[in-house]
Amino acid sequence: MNLSEELEERALRESRALLAREVPGTDFHALCRWLRHGFPRYGWVGVYLLEGGTLHLAGWDGEHPTEHTSIPLGSGLCGLAAREQRTVNVRDVRERPEYLACFLETRSEIVVPIMDGATCLGEIDIDGPQQGAYDASDERFLERLSKELVHRARSVLERAPWRA
Ligand code: SME
């Protein structure tokens, strides 16, 4: 997306302020909404949290809900990013056999793990309809953002709303 450093710093400041305003343990819907509305290429934004070998959807924003509200660690691009604990940035999802299809229009997907030291707590997952929508500046921004989410991720994991 060619995010300038200035925009990146501003976005990180805004995300910190948004997280600080909310009650601890609140899910990630507001953050996803803020990301989607702030960044035109972020067509669908979700946060998954990892518990018991499964990624659970803990907040999302987009035109449509996904049927993949829980994803086993062995599946999809989401599983890959969590297993290998690295950012997965796919220019064209049609070229990746492990891709789990959610939306017909999706061409690009970026998945960034939320790491607490050596432990993966979950990930940010973003889809977009353009091919090659995300570049190194998205990777860097989302990796920095993911560090801001560790505390919140821990508190949502304690609550584990998907078990209710
Ligand atoms: N496409 C993902 C599944 C999640 S949806 O994009 C919301 C995957 O391949 O793991």
For residue 40, the model assigns a pLDDT of 94
Contacts of residue 100, Cβ cutoff 8 Å, sequence gap at least 6? 68, 71, 75, 76, 77, 78
Structure confidence at residue 55 (pLDDT): 98
Residues 6+ apart with CB under 8 A from 86: 113
* 3 pLDDT above the threshold of 90: no
Q: What is the pLDDT of residue 148?
A: 96
Whole-structure pTM over 0.85, yes or no? yes
3-state secondary structure of 1: coil
**Mutation probe of ligand 1 site: the residue of 45, 69, 94, 99 with most atoms within 8 A of C-beta:** 99
74-111: per-residue pLDDT in tens? 999 999 999 999 999 999 999 999 999 999 999 999 99
Pocket lining: 99 vs ligand 1, CB cutoff 6 Å: yes
Nearest CA to ligand 1 atom 3: 100
Of 70, 100, 112, best ligand 1 pocket probe by most atoms within 8 Å of the beta carbon: 100
Q: Whose CA is nearest to atom 5 of ligand 1?
A: 102
Position 164 scores a pLDDT of 83
Among the atoms of ligand 1, which is closest to the Cα of residue 44? 7
Measured in degrees and rounded to the nearest 5, phi and psi for residue 101 equal -75, 135
Measure 68 CA to ligand 1 centroid, in angstroms. Answer: 7
Beta strands in the chain (DSSP E): 44-51, 54-61, 70-72, 88-90, 108-116, 119-128
Q: Give residue-wise pLDDT tens across range 39-54.
A: 999 999 999 999 999 9
Q: Phi/psi at 64 (nearest 5 deg)?
A: -130, 150
* Mean pLDDT within 144-160: 96
Percent of the chain residues topping a pLDDT of 90? 93
The C-alpha atoms of residue 43 and residue 129 are separated, in whole angstroms, by 7
Q: Is the pLDDT of residue 1 over 90?
A: no
Coil, helix or strand at residue 149: coil
Q: How confident is the model at residue 2 (pLDDT cuts 50, 70, 90)?
A: confident
Euclidean distance between the first and the last CA atom of the chain, given in angstroms as a whole number = 38
The mean pLDDT of 21-42, rounded to a whole number, is 94
User: CA 137 → CA 2, 4, 21, 34, distances in Å?
Assistant: 6, 8, 27, 18
Q: Give the CA dihedral 48, 50, 51, 54, nearest 10 degrees.
A: 80
